[in-house]
Amino acid sequence: MQDTFIQAYPKLLQPPVAVAGLWLAHGDEPLLHQWLVDVLRPHWRAQNYAIKRIELISVKSWQEVLSELGSLSLFDDASALIVTGNHKPDKAVITELERFAQEAQTGAHGHSLLWLTSKQDRRAQSSKWFAPFAQYGHVIDCNLYNEQQRQQLLQIQAQQFGLRLSQEAWQLLMSHTEHYLLSAYQTLWRLSYLFAPKLVASGSDISDASDRSGTSTATSKSIALDITDLQAALVSDAQFSVFDLSDAMLAGNSAQVAKIIFQLRASDEPTTLVLWAISKDMRQIMALLDGQDPQALGIWRSKQGLYQQACRRQSKIQTAQWPKLIYHCDQAIKGIVRQPAWELLLQAALELSGKRLFMAK
């Protein structure tokens, strides 16, 4: 049986789970490997498995794996082996793994083998060594192919932490932690201790709750968080925040905008976060100039006056250059262009405030 991680993970969170037999998890995202081990471990413990790890340092290491699977502790019902490394089994070992998987299916034994390996392409998946896992075991594709999958996984983790993020908060989190699953997960972890410490202490900590109950389940209570709450978890030593920058830009206070940008730069504020704040306000203003309703755009009533004030300073001709400017800022942040990112961010922030450094050609 073959599944993607996003398909398999929610199923493994719910009991009961039959863990005997062959498991293969392939992918280049180490965090997904760890989450898979974490979600299987409580099932192993609940079924009295002896959990061991073996690293494949050569093809011969598979003999150690087979030997371990053939032994049975007097104090445990079965063994669960976590195998790491990319050395493929030879023909003899493949035959033994196939026999092992078939016996697990018939209930002849309850041993479990989880092999964590790097991403396997289609050619590798058509190899003979892959067949026993695909035909008689469980193959889990531990790769993320787009941002939507990353957010889906993070939403599951947020539920485990007892958190519910607003749509705006999710947009900020995904933008701020661009393509980095671990960074986003760590931010959720900080949020859980900032805003849901009682939930964490009483069972929303995944590993502790899993060990007690035998499965990893989300707490029945949850804390709703908005974009302001998320900002508190984004570590910053700046005297100003990107929200102060937004207010100054919308108010047309170009001197304050420059002061805040310089302070954010001096305190090493993430450039991705600054660009997020600028581009968000630019998109809102362009939408308002197109006649869209501010409430439908999700603009807080307390800030609608500032946005209307900003719209009066702009025109569709002027804002037509904004998407290109945002794109150049993004390229500078990623190092694709040589122009300093902070220089372009200052230009964009001043543009929004109504102060143009360069005339459009």
CATH of the domain at 74: 3.40.50.300
Residue-level pLDDT at 128: 94
Q: Please report, for the domain that includes residue 254, its CATH number.
A: 1.20.272.10
Q: Do 9 and 136 fall within a single domain?
A: yes
The predicted model gives 28-41 an average pLDDT of 92
Confidence check: pLDDT of 288 > 50? yes
Confidence check: pLDDT of 299 > 90? no
Q: Where is average pLDDT lowest: 53-67, 190-204, 257-271, 279-293?
A: 190-204
The predicted model gives 323-343 an average pLDDT of 91
The predicted model gives 276-302 an average pLDDT of 89
Kindly give the residue spans of alpha helices, DSSP state H, lying in 71-180.
91-106, 122-125, 131-136, 147-160, 167-176
Q: Do 73 and 127 fall within a single domain?
A: yes
Give the global pTM: 0.64
Residue-level pLDDT at 195: 77
The predicted model gives 114-142 an average pLDDT of 94
On whether residue 24 sits in a domain, the answer given is: yes
On whether residue 209 sits in a domain, the answer given is: yes
Whose CA is closest to 353, among 285, 209, 257? 257
Q: Do 19 and 125 fall within a single domain?
A: yes
On whether residue 36 sits in a domain, the answer given is: yes
Final residue belonging to a domain, choices 125, 141, 157: 141
Final residue belonging to a domain, choices 99, 124, 141: 141
On whether residue 361 sits in a domain, the answer given is: no
- The Cα 333–Cα 342 span in angstroms is 8
Task: Name the residue type at position 251.
Answer: A
Alpha carbon of 149 to those of 5, 165, 210, 226, 303: distances in Å? 10, 17, 24, 22, 33
| Residue range of the domain that includes 322 | 242-353
Final residue belonging to a domain, choices 203, 233, 263: 233
Sign of CA dihedral 218, 224, 227, 228: negative
Residue-level pLDDT at 197: 54
- Helix, strand or coil for residue 137? coil
Counting residues of the chain whose pLDDT is more than 70, the rounded percentage is 87
Residue-level pLDDT at 73: 53
State the angle between helix axes of 254-266 and 242-251 in degrees (0 to 180), rounded to the nearest 10: 160
On whether residue 359 sits in a domain, the answer given is: no
Counting the structural domains of the chain, the total is 3
Confidence check: pLDDT of 216 > 60? no
Q: Do 171 and 220 fall within a single domain?
A: yes
Average pLDDT, the chain: 85
